[in-house]
Amino acid sequence: MTEQPLVTIAIPAYKAGHLRESIASALSQTYENIEVVVVNDQSPEDVAAVVDSFSDTRIRYFENARNMGKEDPSLNWNECLRQARGEWFCLLCDDDVYDSRFVEELLCISERYPKCDVLRSGVVMIDGEDKEISVYPESPEFETVEQYMWEFFHSRRRQTISEFMLRRSAIIQLGGYVNLPYAWGSDNLSIFRFGMKNGIASTPLRLMTFRDSGENISSDRKHMDVKLKAFLQYINQTKEMVRKEGFRQDLLPVLDNYYRRASVAHMVEANAEDLRCIVRRPKAYHIGIKCVLKALLRRWFLSH
């Protein structure tokens, strides 16, 4: 009889509001050979009390000596990876939840694609009051990273970081999650790198619920000047990947257009101080006057 692989579900914990639901969803998996690693990133909230409310020996709890994720949450993602022991690794954000079949279903997918290091499920998005907002577009059961990127940058794919199961040895060999300021683009770039060799296998079942509570770092509109620079790094590193791997070169203008749209969105959402930083030095952000004017015009319309 083949020994069942250990699966690590790691939770980088900072917010305590929905943490109990996240931990409970991890522990409720139909596949039982799991460990749940909770890494408290020096939260001002009582994360330890939430963890202590569970009496399950599969939970392993750690506290960081400093707040690693303040300016780059991916540092804490990698700390979670360092503490993991499983053959497979899942990173569940502290306000997201898994369906009880998440691990079992993705392990079934892995049997059909035994070389694949990146597995993913479908996603339902909810708001802070548990109301469904949307569902992510379905992916084919298998696609190369080149195909995935083409679809992603044409807005036919969406992703967070919680819906993936990753072969731990493979992502450690690649150096773990990519570090960018505020992890702005780190999730996407990391998955591109992790799936580069053996592609991405997916289930159409929506087994992860992403909570857009307004408290996520993706919802935080502070430091948009720094985040725009991080986003530029993400795009430039993705372009380097396209060139290095010999991917279809028509991806490059698609990436440029994607960045222009993102830069306008960043400026529209930025506070006045961050906007001034961007507008004063547009060349530092590789944006042209058309993007600046478009953003300013859109801000004007939204305010009237």
pLDDT number for residue 212: 86
Quote the pTM value: 0.92
- In this structure, are residues 72 and 177 in contact, taking their beta carbons and an 8 Å threshold? no
Q: What does residue 73 show for φ and ψ, rounded to 5 degrees?
A: -55, -25
Question: Each residue of 233-247: pLDDT tens digit?
Answer: 999 999 999 999 999
Q: What does residue 132 show for φ and ψ, rounded to 5 degrees?
A: -65, 130
Q: Among 200-209, 213-222, 289-298, which range has the highest average pLDDT?
A: 200-209
Residue 283: CB partners within 8 Å, gap ≥ 6?
none
